[in-house]
Amino acid sequence: MSISFESALNGHDKALGFRAQRAEVLANNMANADTPNFKARDLDFASVLAEQNAKAKGGEFQLNRSNSKHIDAQGVASADAALRYRMPAEPSLDQNTVDLQVEQSKYAENSVQFQASFTLLNSKFKGLINALRGE
């Protein structure tokens, strides 16, 4: 009898990867808080989840071409598909859309969610180890 890691982990490994990518994007936003014309970005969890569900149902993520002359998009990264610009609460003179307080709160929220995903993944691995030991 073999153990399927895909079914055992229930997507927690992918959620952990998403949280790590989002932490990078939010940290980049905070690092560029004083850069003129910088546009704040964030990852959309719903888009990533929908894409992963489509892949799990057997179909790979496909982009529709409305014209035969359009270039086929091969190897589109899933993070880029979910990367969205954030709308600022108030305009700035230098056209920078980063609100440092919003970015810090989003980063803290993402950190808590990362820790929760990591704890769930850790418990899954402990359960698998106990099953292999026969405990």
**Per-domain boundaries in the chain:** 5-133
Residue 15 has pLDDT above 50, yes or no: yes
DSSP state of 58: T
Indicate the pTM of the whole model.
0.72
Q: Contact at 8 Å (CB) between 10 and 124?
A: yes
Summarize the confidence of residues 62-84 as an average pLDDT: 65
Of 76 and 41, more confident = 41
The pLDDT assigned to 58 comes to 66
Model confidence at 66: pLDDT above 80 = no
8 A C-beta contact, residue 23 and residue 110: yes
Would you state the pLDDT for residue 81? 63
Using 50, 70 and 90 to split pLDDT, how confident is the model at 20?
A: very high
Interatomic CA distance for residues 105 and 19, integer angstroms: 14
Q: What is the tens place of the pLDDT at every residue in 111-135?
A: 999 999 899 889 888 988 888 888 7
Burial class (CB in 10 A: 0-12, 13-18, 19+), 98: buried
Residue 119 pLDDT = 92
Mean pLDDT is highest, among 12-16, 46-50, 95-99, 121-125, for: 95-99
